[in-house]
Structure 1
Amino acid sequence: MILLTSELRERLLVNGRNSDADHIPVVKFFNPLGEGVWLATELDEDGDTLFGLADLGEPELGSFSLAEMIAVRLPLGLGIERDILFEGLFPISAWAETARRIGGIREAERVLHAIHRSTTSGQSGKP
């Protein structure tokens, strides 16, 4: 799987030019066989250095390498994957706070999406 499409790469680069903002994550990467989830909000002009929230057991904001993620080789011929259905919905600060509070990005995703559903269902007239 291609980890970054040209559209995702461009969105990350645009965010990278304004690194002081609290961006909504553009892309989610994950280890399909275990621990490891990354939410990327920005890409440096070098085309390799991503910024976002990484969770390898404890959620932490920081930089990580796209090339290193591509190079990971897991059992069964697998590698790091991109979640093609991911929706950021909230700024990275909300992701980081929720992930730290409840134990990780995967758990935070369930909570934040439930919050989003509850706030949008009232607006759409759905129960």
Structure 2
Amino acid sequence: MKWAEYKKQARDRGALALELYVAHSVPAKGPEDVKASLPAHLAYQATLEVEGALAFAGPMSDETGEEMQGMGLIIYRASDLDAARALAEADPMHQSGARIFVLRRWMINEGSISLNVGLSTKRIDLS
């Protein structure tokens, strides 16, 4: 089934059908290359977050849940797949060749996010 048709069916049945874009990023060079690109990568992601183009990002464990192997997941808000690809390609980590990525569309239909804001304590809890 084509993506547009699936998205329409999801909306017709009352699902959210929020389209985001997921980049699964993995090391392509050694740890020293990844580490060298890290400050520029984090600055780039901070900029995207302020602009509203970065939904979520962070490292992932291996299958055991115990070891970090340098894999990461980046979820973009973009107008379409090409715009999301441009965001991923502009990431200094990917530009340097320290990491490569696979980009996919992701349709969010269900789930929840809880936000608790303490007005007097100025504390925010997200779960």
Do the two structures share a fold, i.e. TM-score over 0.5?
Answer: no
Q: Counting helix residues as a fraction of each chain, which structure ranks higher? A: 1
Q: Counting strand residues as a fraction of each chain, which structure ranks higher? A: 2
User: Over alpha carbons, which structure has the higher Rg?
Assistant: 2
- State TM-score, norm by structure 1: 0.28
- State TM-score, norm by structure 2: 0.28
Pick 1 or 2: higher relative contact order, CA cutoff 8 A, min separation 6.
2
